[in-house]
C-alpha cells in the first residue's frame, strides 16, 4: 500500500517536472533571438568574385546551393555605406561593374565597420539571402 503511494507521488512529480521543462523549452524557443553568426563556423568559404559569378551565371541553382547558408566570403572592399538608421553595409568587389557581394552587418557588429577601409581585403561571415543587383548577405561580421 505504502509502495503504491510512493509510486503515485513519483509519477505526479515526474509529470509536473516534465511540464515545467516543456514550458521552459517552449519559452526559450519562442524568445530565441537570431543567432550572432560571428562565432558560427561557415558552411562554405569562398571569394566574392566566385560567389557573384556563380550567381550571375545561374541564380536558381545558386539559390538552392547557398540560401540560408553561412558563407565566409573574402574580397576587397569597394564601398562602405552607413544609412540614416545607422545600418552598415560593406560591398565587396566581384570584378564586375554591375554589382558585387553586399554584406549587411549584424547591428551587434556595427562598430567593426570603423576598422574597415575602402580597398582593404576582408573576410565576412554572413547568411546568404539571394541576389538582387548584388548578392546579399545579412547578419554579417568581420572575421
Partner 1 sequence: MKKVLAIVVIVMMSSSLTFAQKYFTKNGNVTFFSKAPLEDIKAVNKKAVCVIDAGTGAMEFAVLMKAFEFEKALMQEHFNENYVESDTYPKGAFKGKITNVSSVNFTTDGSYPVTIAGKMTIHGITKDVTAKGSIVVAGGKINGISEFTLLVADYDIEIPSVVKDKISKSIKITVNVWLEPKS
Residues engaged in binding partner 1 (CB under 8 A): 29-35, 63, 67-68, 81, 83-85, 87, 89, 102, 104, 127, 129-134, 136, 138-139
For partner 1, the closer of residues 13 and 23 by Cβ is: 23
For residue 122, what is the enclosing H or E element?
strand 121-131
Please say which residue, 13 or 82, places its beta carbon nearer to partner 1.
82
* Residue 74 or 99 having the CB closest to partner 1: 99
Which C-beta is closer to partner 1: that of 3 or that of 85?
85
Q: Assess contact for 70 and 126: CB atoms under 8 A.
A: yes
Lookup result for grid cell 509536473 = 16
CA-CA-CA-CA dihedral for 74, 91, 80, 121, to nearest 10? 20
Query: What are the Cα distances from residue 17, in Å, to 83, 128, 140, 143?
Result: 49, 40, 40, 42
Q: How many CB atoms lie within 10 A of CB 12?
A: 10
Q: Please, what is the minimum distance in Å from the beta carbon of residue 100 to partner 1?
A: 10
CB of residue 128 to partner 1, shortest distance in Å: 8
Find the shortest distance in angstroms from Cβ 87 to partner 1: 5
Q: How far is the CB of 35 from partner 1 (least distance, A)?
A: 7
Min dist CB 125 to partner 1, Å, is: 16
CB of 1 or CB of 132, closer to partner 1: 132
**C-alpha to C-alpha distance for 81 and 91, rounded to whole angstroms:** 8
Amino acid at each position: 500500500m505504502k509502495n503504491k503511494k510512493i509510486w503515485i507521488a513519483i509519477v505526479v512529480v515526474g509529470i509536473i517536472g516534465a511540464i515545467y521543462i516543456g514550458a521552459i523549452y517552449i519559452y526559450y524557443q519562442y524568445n530565441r533571438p537570431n543567432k550572432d553568426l560571428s562565432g558560427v563556423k561557415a558552411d562554405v568559404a569562398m571569394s566574392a568574385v566566385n560567389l557573384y559569378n556563380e550567381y550571375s551565371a545561374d541564380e536558381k541553382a545558386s539559390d538552392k546551393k547557398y540560401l540560408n547558408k553561412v558563407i565566409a566570403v573574402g574580397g576587397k572592399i569597394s564601398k562602405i555605406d552607413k544609412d540614416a538608421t545607422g545600418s552598415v553595409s560593406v560591398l565587396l568587389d566581384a570584378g564586375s561593374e554591375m554589382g558585387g557581394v553586399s554584406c549587411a552587418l549584424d547591428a551587434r557588429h556595427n562598430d567593426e565597420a570603423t576598422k574597415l577601409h575602402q580597398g582593404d581585403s576582408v573576410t565576412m561571415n554572413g547568411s546568404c539571402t539571394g541576389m538582387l543587383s548584388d548578392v546579399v548577405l545579412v547578419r554579417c561580421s568581420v572575421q
